[in-house]
């Protein structure tokens, strides 16, 4: 992929991730009867979500696989990257999330019960990136 396309896809994935996180945390506010529906994220999340642009690099190799398998690959990749990036951030006291109180957490860095959400997010990123790729290939 050309550098310009990677940078563009990185930015789009970073912004998409931020929006998803704000919406998700806003819904969490709603469930707590907080009518302000305040959502939040961190500047650190932009490059983490931006790395989802790698899905566009992976897709040509796995597009022949069924949707469920592709989503599983994406979900495992995302949750793995969340663990490693969270470990790095936590080491430097910068990690904006802490799942320590959740039942299915690993070291407070990932929640296994979020795997289906990450699978869906992976498919969303796939859809966005494939649409961008089609657009980039137009004459």
CA end-to-end distance (rounded Å), the chain: 17
pTM for the full model?
0.89
Largest CA distance in the chain: 52
Looking only at the bridges linking them, the beta strands covering 105-106 and 110-111 are: antiparallel
Domain that holds residue 60: 3-136
10-residue averages of pLDDT along the chain (139 residues): 80 97 91 89 97 95 97 98 98 97 98 98 96 62
Tokens of 40: 């939040």
Long-range contacts, stretch 112-120, CB < 8 angstroms, 24+ apart: 112/79, 114/79, 115/75, 115/76, 115/79, 116/75, 118/74, 118/75, 118/78, 118/79, 118/82, 119/71, 119/72, 119/74, 119/75, 120/71
User: Rounded to the nearest 5°, which phi and psi values hold at 40?
Assistant: -150, 165
How many domains does the chain divide into? Answer: 1
């Amino acid at each position: 992929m050309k550098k310009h396309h990677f940078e563009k896809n990185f930015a789009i994935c970073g912004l998409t991730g931020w929006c998803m996180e704000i919406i998700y945390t806003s819904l969490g506010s709603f469930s707590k009867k907080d009518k302000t529906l305040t959502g939040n994220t961190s500047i650190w999340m932009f490059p983490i979500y931006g790395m989802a642009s790698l899905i566009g690099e992976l897709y040509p190799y796995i597009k022949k696989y069924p949707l469920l398998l592709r989503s599983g690959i994406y979900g495992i990749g995302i949750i793995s990257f969340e663990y490693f990036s969270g470990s790095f951030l936590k080491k430097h006291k910068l990690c904006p999330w802490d799942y320590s109180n959740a039942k299915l957490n690993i070291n407070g860095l990932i929640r296994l019960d979020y795997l289906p959400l990450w699978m869906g997010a992976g498919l969303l990123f796939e859809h966005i990136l494939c649409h961008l790729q089609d657009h980039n290939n137009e004459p």
